[in-house]
């Protein structure tokens, strides 16, 4: 018998989003790990809010929503609010019921900015990493480091002389600009949109773009990210960030650090050794001598580090194609760092789910 095409909505519903999500859905173990990390941050959240006044968006829901942006490549807060409104899976993950009203995108961004002052992203990242450590997934001896270029939210047209107060007249909002023959340097020019963004190119023969640099420190056992940084795009930033992150590793035992040829400089190698780190960097012998000699390269562990370090490109690949880190959504380094840290927290959660830290 053919069923009738009835389109009248029911007045009441007793079904919750929880019952709509399959028991074996991959987000279930991730939600379990996220809730454990957020519970541990309860005191830190309480310190960010006043005891009086109107209730704001719970920080736990803010962070869950931010993670969804990385998991599902959602390009903007406006699109995120739209998805949460009609997607039952997203409602369940964030913590909404069927009838809860979704926030306006401007309210969401305003409340999220409060988390910047408390460095909540790094505390959440540390809690996720702590779960991986308790599951014995982290290596404490062998690490890899690398950096990647992140385009700033600023156009080439915004890169103008520092002493220029007003943009040239004419041409409308999107005027034509010809840079041919003009000498532009960091000493004389800056972006009027994002003053922290600098012109940078990753390799010879590529275009220079207004950018920041993102740095990742990865442990070599399971490829989990243990530290991240966002810096201005300078020629020495990668090496300086590598020394900072390696020196921050806990413990007094010596560790190894795999890296590419860009880190093969005498100052970087000496600084790493002073930080109790054995530099397993690739030798750069192009018209120069390497800072790494046979006393390091003769060991089998050096060859292993050089092979394993290439896995860090998988982290960058996921962050840029899935996590939305190819170009910043924010103006300024502080907000970009917040996005960068949360994106790699999301990456670790997916890796840990695949490694069986939490089950459905």
According to the model, what pLDDT value does residue 166 have? 67
Q: Given this model, what pLDDT does residue 81 score?
A: 95
Model pLDDT, residue 14: 73
Which has the minimum average pLDDT: 54-58, 148-152, 203-207, 237-241? Answer: 203-207
| Position 251 confidence tier, pLDDT thresholds 50, 70, 90 | confident
Confidence of residue 71 (pLDDT cuts 50, 70, 90): very high
The two structure tokens encoding residue 192: 């009027």
Parallel/antiparallel/unpaired status of strands 277-281 and 225-232: unpaired
- Beta-bridge partners for 217: 145, 227
User: Would the pLDDT of 56 be above 70?
Assistant: yes
The answer to which of 38-42, 54-58, 295-299 has the lowest mean pLDDT is 54-58
Single pTM value for the model: 0.91
Q: What is the CB neighbour count within 10 angstroms for residue 182?
A: 9
Average pLDDT over residues 251-266: 90
pLDDT at 171 over 70: no
Cα separation, 116 vs 108, whole angstroms: 13
pLDDT in tens, 180-214: 667 777 778 888 888 999 989 887 878 888 999 99
pLDDT at 167 over 70: no
Alpha helices in the chain (DSSP H): 17-20, 27-40, 42-48, 59-71, 77-86, 88-94, 105-117, 120-134, 237-247, 266-274, 294-297, 300-308, 312-321, 333-354
Does residue 242 carry a pLDDT above 90? yes
- Alpha carbons 120 and 125: distance in angstroms, whole number: 8
Instruction: Report whether pLDDT(320) > 60.
Output: yes
pLDDT above 90: residue 37: yes
The CATH code that applies to domain 139-152+211-330 is 3.30.420
| pLDDT tens track for 105-163 | 999 998 888 888 778 999 999 999 999 999 999 999 999 999 999 999 988 888 888 88
What confidence score (pLDDT) does residue 206 get?
Answer: 83
Mean pLDDT, all residues of the chain: 89
> What pLDDT does residue 266 have?
94
- pLDDT class of 360 with cuts at 50, 70, 90: low
- Joined together, the tokens standing for residue 185 give 């340097």
Of 44, 46, 50, 69, residue with least CA distance to 120: 44
* Segment 271-297, tens digit of pLDDT: 999 999 999 999 988 888 999 988 889
**pLDDT score for 4:** 72
Identify the residue with better confidence: 51 or 304. 304
Residue 189 has what pLDDT?
A: 81
Per residue, what are the HEC states of 267-319? Answer: HHHHHHHHCCEEEEECCCCCCCCCCCCHHHHCCHHHHHHHHHHHHHHHHHHHH
Percent above pLDDT 90 for the chain: 63
Domain regions of the chain by residue span: 17-118, 139-152+211-330
Per-residue pLDDT tens over the stretch 81-102 = 999 999 999 999 999 988 889 9
For residue 201 the two structure tokens come to: 């190119």
Q: What is the mean pLDDT of residues 310-337?
A: 94
- With CA atoms as reference, report the closest residue to 125 among 254, 277, 271, 245: 245
3-class DSSP assignment, residue 126: helix
Q: Of 213, 215, 231, 207, which Cα lies nearest the Cα of 159?
A: 207
């Amino acid at each position: 018998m053919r069923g009738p095409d009835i389109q009248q909505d029911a007045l009441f519903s007793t079904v919750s989003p929880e019952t709509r999500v399959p028991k074996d859905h991959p987000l279930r173990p991730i939600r379990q790990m996220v809730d454990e990390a957020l519970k541990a941050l309860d005191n830190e959240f309480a310190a960010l809010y006043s005891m009086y006044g109107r209730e704001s968006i719970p920080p736990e829901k803010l962070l869950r929503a931010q993670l969804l942006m990385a998991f599902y490549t959602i390009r903007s807060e406006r699109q995120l609010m739209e998805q949460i409104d009609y997607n039952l899976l997203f409602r369940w993950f964030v913590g909404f019921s069927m009838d809860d009203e979704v926030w306006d995108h401007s309210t969401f961004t305003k409340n999220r900015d409060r988390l910047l002052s408390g460095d909540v992203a790094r505390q959440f990242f540390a809690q996720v990493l702590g779960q991986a450590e308790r599951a014995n997934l982290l290596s404490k001896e062998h690490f890899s480091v690398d950096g990647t270029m992140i385009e700033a939210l600023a156009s080439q047209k915004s890169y103008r002389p520092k002493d220029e107060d007003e943009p040239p007249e004419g041409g409308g909002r999107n005027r034509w600009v010809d840079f041919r023959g003009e000498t532009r340097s960091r000493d004389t020019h800056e972006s009027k949109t994002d003053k922290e963004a600098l012109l940078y190119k990753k390799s010879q023969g590529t275009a220079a773009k207004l950018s920041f640099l993102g740095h990742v420190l990865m442990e070599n056992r399971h490829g989990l990210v243990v530290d991240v940084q966002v810096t201005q795009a300078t020629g020495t930033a990668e090496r300086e960030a590598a020394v900072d992150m390696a020196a921050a590793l806990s413990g007094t035992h010596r560790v190894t650090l795999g890296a590419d040829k860009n880190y093969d400089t005498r100052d970087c190698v000496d600084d790493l050794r002073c930080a109790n780190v054995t530099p397993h960097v690739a030798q750069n012998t192009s018209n120069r001598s390497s800072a790494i000699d046979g006393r390091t390269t003769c060991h089998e562990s050096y060859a292993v580090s050089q092979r394993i370090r290439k896995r860090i490109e998988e982290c960058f690949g996921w962050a840029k194609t899935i996590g939305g880190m190819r170009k910043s959504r924010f103006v300024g380094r502080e907000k970009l760092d917040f996005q960068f840290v949360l994106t790699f927290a999301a990456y670790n959660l997916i890796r840990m789910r695949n490694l069986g830290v939490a089950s459905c």
